[in-house]
Structure 1
Amino acid sequence: MLFCDIDGVISLWGWQPDTRPPGVWTAVDGIPHFLSTRAAEHLLELSQLYELVWCSGWEEKADEHLPRLLGVPAGRPHLHFAGRDRAAVSARAHWKLEAIDAYAGGRPLAWVDDALTAACWDWARARAAPTLLVPTEPARGLDADHAARLRSFAHAA
């Protein structure tokens, strides 16, 4: 499985004016987003190797907007974070871990996110199933190097 965050992975920000990556501007619920077409191309390819699961606070909005705007596959599941108070999560945890654990069970997984914490790395090392964490930078998002690591992991897992 490939758990994919959106903000900082597909929806980018923070690049220098002369280094804007390829992408499209859009608004989701009135909030402007710059969506990386390069990240979308990588996800389209990776969806042949992985079960793609949206792992974002966007929840169902991911499947409502991204397939139409970027051509990524429609009908992909998303994690639900209802009832998980992000502010109440301790420094030893990450607000997404409980939902990822519940969905993945003991299956191998990769997780792409721009906000991985020490708790995420500890969790990944402790899992019995193969687990790959792929950190991104919000100005670049999912790039060719990340996609290559994800392909290698999928073939090895």
Structure 2
Amino acid sequence: MPYGVPVTRPLLFLDVDGPLNPYAAQRERRPEGYTTIRVPLDARRSLRVWLNPEHGPALLRLGFELVWATSWMEEANIWIAPVVGLPPDLPYVDFGNGLFAMRPDGVHWKTEAIVAYAEGRPFAWVDDEQSPADTLYVRARHPGPALLHHVDPRLGLGAGDFAALREFAHTAPG
């Protein structure tokens, strides 16, 4: 790398529900290594979230610049980051009011905003809702390397997921 040229790490777009919170795991049994938090929805209801405190340090060791790509948006820094061991000020993709808007082409509602946020930089995106339509969209509109990595929402991030991300981080030009 020539002197004076900034070195940038690839981006890791991180979803919460599925990769970090295995919401589809057996309802009555918290997965091993996870802790339970209750996020208030209103005065009488809360959302049960399972989180693994080992995930944050493991993600930080991968060599990515972490960015929340979740419907939690800035709330991920308040509720999720402290429990999993991530910094409390990670940037996030602002999905605005288009949240959960179905697209007629089958592309996920997050995909366009993620590609725009990346601005051509190499990125990996971990989520439990990507489809082949998202892969085609990214290939057609993103000039840099990209890894769309599906995580099973019954299991959350596991050793194989971390291995795939580590490999991409070390092979993507930065």
What is the TM-score normalised by the length of structure 2? 0.80
Within the candidate set 159, 163, 174, 1:144 is matched to 159
Offset of residue 42 of structure 1: 2.5
Offset of residue 134 of structure 1: 0.8
Q: Deviations over 1:34-60 (max 9, x none)?
A: 1133433422322xx111000000001
Question: CA distance change for structure 1 residues 88 and 67 in 2, over 3 Å: closer, same or farther?
Answer: closer
Within the candidate set 63, 66, 77, 2:80 is matched to 66
In structure 2, runs of 5+ residues without a counterpart are 1-10, 41-45
**SS in structure 1 at match of 2:25:** coil
After TM superposition, the runs of 4+ consecutive aligned structure 1 residues lying more than 6 A away are none
Q: Could you tell me the percent identity over the aligned residues?
A: 37
Q: Which has the higher helix share?
A: 1
Offset of residue 28 of structure 1: 1.9
Equivalent residue, structure 2, for 1:95: 109
Within the candidate set 121, 124, 128, 2:143 is matched to 128
Q: Which has the larger radius of gyration?
A: 2
Q: Whole-Å Cα distance in 2 between the matches of residues 150 and 75 of structure 1?
A: 22
Task: Output the aligned Cα RMSD.
Answer: 1.9
Within the candidate set 33, 36, 39, 1:22 is matched to 33
Q: Deviations over 1:77-102 (max 9, x none)?
A: 01111121523422432100121122
**SS in structure 2 at match of 1:83:** helix
- Show the 5 A alignment for 1:105-120: 105-120=119-134
**More divergent stretch after superposition (96-105 vs 81-90):** 81-90
Q: Count residues in correspondence.
A: 155
Letter in 1 for 2:118: A
Q: Whole-Å Cα distance in 2 between the matches of residues 28 and 18 of structure 1?
A: 18
Q: Deviations over 1:4-39 (max 9, x none)?
A: 100001011233467823111001232111113343
Contact kept? 1:39, 1:143, Cα under 8 Å: no
**SS in structure 2 at match of 1:150:** helix
Q: Whole-Å Cα distance in 2 between the matches of residues 156 and 15 of structure 1?
A: 32
Within the candidate set 49, 53, 56, 1:37 is matched to 53
